A and B are shown apart, each in its own frame.
Chain A
């Protein structure tokens, strides 16, 4: 009982000390804080979640046909598209896909990397090549993009808070009218899911912008889900291997702990 009283007393002292703080309250300025991201439900969430293979393949198509015009994907090689736990294209498909890209060539017999016009020599990409970036470097990108720099997408999902929900919300968050008290800067687009609501990227997706070969209807929402699934994989390509190993490790540890528990009980039996 005494201990209860003392605890209550302590709480009262805390409360009394907090009162002066109340007097100083500030009214927060009209907020341009980003909206809470939407969660459309993902196949890869939770301990049992795996990537939806169809979404990965469709998402790759969206990246290739839409995003790659401005965004690089520098940490993904063509060969990764055939990796287990990824989009799992066949080796043949990957070879054909890579062959359609041109990458800077190695020095030729004369030790040159440029042709007689001074233009860089190129060769068709192979599976071990990485995705070629859309711009030579950041300066070239900014020059072409109204001063903005489209970030590399390899880790875009992992490097943002709220991850896949955030990227999905950005992609589907265009098309709303900015409130009267938020003045848009020149060349910027309103997107309430972006910090401070002004994003340099114009709405990237449009209805039917890609034609899915599996017959899925290419709505904006569908494209966003698919490309976000693909980009989540691009950031965490070993997720399926990780979770599968995790089940085995967990099963082993639970079994091991159970056996140890009985050993522990047996050893201590006489002493307690």
Chain B
């Protein structure tokens, strides 16, 4: 990591290197950056996420050239993008499905981090910045979803902003004051749309900046790896280029096939049909449902009968992630060597899927064709979510006997390959 291998070869490079060592920087961080040689497929999603951010920013900038953030014109301008702008349908479908792909990748990336203990010492700040990025992504996605000003845009905006009115039960009038301030008026209206557009354009650049910090923080200790053990020397690593550039590119192209399938053959599957009806403040849709990537949180919110407590649980479910590096008491990073905690990891994953299912159904729905109210399942799911982080994680680390840990990455890798 330290001690650069870069030597400027030409006069121009030497001149530049003394003033702005940008080539040296790129060489150190994109090319010779020592990367553990045993990273598996789950480690390609960081690169994929960077790609997703780039796609969203580029398509978003072009869409903004054709979009009008006015409550009377927004819906029509989106339809004109779909019908009259050259390749406008492509831009919009890439951007809309790109959001879903972004979340798909971030969820895999986050669960990867949880499984291999990538949040543990000395990588706490990488993880916390990751949680910040995730929350910024959620905010950006929510703001973006309101922009087409369809029925679900409008009512989604109404529901989410009204989270803050829950604080009325603490200090009467306080929550309403926040909501009025957020809306820029006494209802979700033109002023709301204008500011949401402005913020939706701003936040991706904030995300890009935090991604910079996230990667900076990563490049200080270097990557964690599936064994969760430290790099002991150069025999444990490979230079990022060409080994990981080619690996990331290969898996990125596979990811793009999935992405392209949605864009070209199923572009509206992940959205809600009712959002193709223009916003109507006088008519509430049958069910107000967020996009799929928010469903587990929606289930947590609805599983608690008290509005304020529901909102706090929702916020708490994100805040608790920040504490993960300190809630995990185990000395061992990777779940490969944690027979007990590994099972709870999978239970958490299933729990999130179950919560997502509960969030997708009407609040009074029953479990499949049984007479069990689904909200009970959501309550158990919510309870487990918090239990997992606040109780299971600290206790599992204390009572568990980890499996023996390999001495080094190189030994472990070479053990599975015939000698050369």
Contact at B247–A261, with CB atoms within 8 Å?
A: no
Residue B234 is within 8 A (CB to CB) of chain A in the complex: no
Q: Which residues of A contact B (CB under 8 A)?
A: 2-3, 6-7, 10, 14, 17-18, 20-22, 24-26, 47, 75, 80, 154-155, 158-161, 163, 195, 235, 237-238, 241-243, 245-246, 249-250, 253-254, 256-257, 260-261, 263-264, 267-268, 270-272
Residues in B with CB closer than 8 Å to A158 are: 268, 273, 276
Among B294-348, those with CB < 8 Å from A are 339-340, 343, 347
Q: Which of B23-31, B104-112, B256-264 contacts A (4 or more CB under 8 A)?
A: B256-264
In the complex, besides A250-B261, A253-B256, 12 extra interface pairs with C-beta distance below 8 angstroms are A17-B380, A18-B376, A22-B371, A154-B79, A159-B273, A159-B276, A238-B82, A249-B264, A253-B253, A260-B246, A267-B242, A272-B417
- Residue in contact with A246 in the complex, picked from B37, B260, B276, B347, CB distance below 8 Å: B260
Residues in A whose Cβ lies below 8 Å from that of B380:
14, 17-18
B89: chain A residues at CB < 8 Å are 238, 241-242
Distance between Cα atoms of A2 and B376 in the complex (Å): 29
Residues of B within 8 A of A235 (CB): 276
Give the contacting residue for A256; candidates B253, B264, B376; CB below 8 A.
Answer: B253
Q: How would you classify the secondary structure of chain B's contact residues: helix, strand, loop or mixed? A: helix
Specify which of A159, A256, A272 is in contact with B413 (CB 8 Å cutoff).
A272
Q: Are A250 and B250 in contact (CB under 8 A)?
A: no
- Residues of chain A contacted by B268 (CB below 8 angstroms): 158
How far is B150's CA from A160's CA once the two chains are assembled, in angstroms? 13
Cα–Cα, bound, A80→B84 (Å): 10
Taking the nearest CB of chain A, how far is it from the CB of B241, in angstroms?
10
Closest A residue by C-beta to B83:
A237
Residues of B within 8 A of A270 (CB): 420
What's the least CB distance linking B360 to chain A, in Å? 13
Set of chain B residues within 8 Å of A2, measured between Cβ atoms: 339
A-B contact count (CB 8 A): 107
Distance between A229 CB and nearest chain B CB, rounded to angstroms: 18
Question: Do B260 and A249 touch (CB < 8 A)?
Answer: yes
Q: Are A264 and B250 in contact (CB under 8 A)?
A: yes
Give Cα distance in the complex from A75 to B413, angstroms: 61
Are the CB atoms of B376 and A263 closer together than 8 Å? no
A7 to B350, CA, bound (A): 12
Q: Which of A18, A241, A245 contacts B372, CB < 8 Å? A: A18
Residue B209 is within 8 A (CB to CB) of chain A in the complex: no
Contacts of A20 in B (CB 8 A): 376
A271 & B273 in contact (Cβ 8 Å cutoff): no
- B273 adjacent to A163 (CB under 8 Å): yes
Residue B238, interface by CB 8 Å: yes
- A271 lies within 8 A of B238 (CB): yes
Contact yes or no, B249 A25, CB < 8 A: no
* B212 interface contact, C-beta 8 A: no
Given contacts A21-B372, A21-B373, A260-B249, contact A243 B273 (CB under 8 A): no
Of A17, A26, A256, A257, most B-chain CB atoms within 10 Å: A257
User: Which of these, A22, A161, A268, contacts B273 with CB under 8 Å?
Assistant: A161
Docked pose: A8 CA to B289 CA in angstroms: 33
Contacting residues, chain A, for B93 (C-beta < 8 A) = 242
Name the residue on B nearest A253 (C-beta): B257
Which residues of chain B come closer than 8 Å to A17, judged between CB atoms? 380
Report chain B residues within 8 Å CB of A26.
371, 373
Within 8 A of A (CB), among B30-69: 37
User: Chain B residue with minimal CB distance to A252?
Assistant: B260
Shortest beta-carbon distance from A142 to chain B in Å: 13
Across the interface, do A195 and B276 meet the contact criterion of CB distance under 8 Å? no
- Inter-chain contact A245/B264, CB cutoff 8 Å: yes
Q: Is B402 an interface residue (CB 8 A)?
A: no
Alpha-carbon gap, A251 to B339, bound state (A): 43
Closest 3 CB pairs of A and B: A246-B264, A25-B371, A159-B276
Q: Offer 24 A-B interface pairs, CB within 8 angstroms, sorted by A.
A: A18-B380, A20-B376, A21-B373, A22-B371, A24-B373, A26-B371, A47-B265, A158-B268, A161-B274, A235-B276, A237-B83, A241-B89, A242-B93, A245-B264, A246-B263, A246-B265, A250-B261, A253-B260, A257-B250, A263-B250, A267-B243, A267-B246, A268-B243, A268-B246
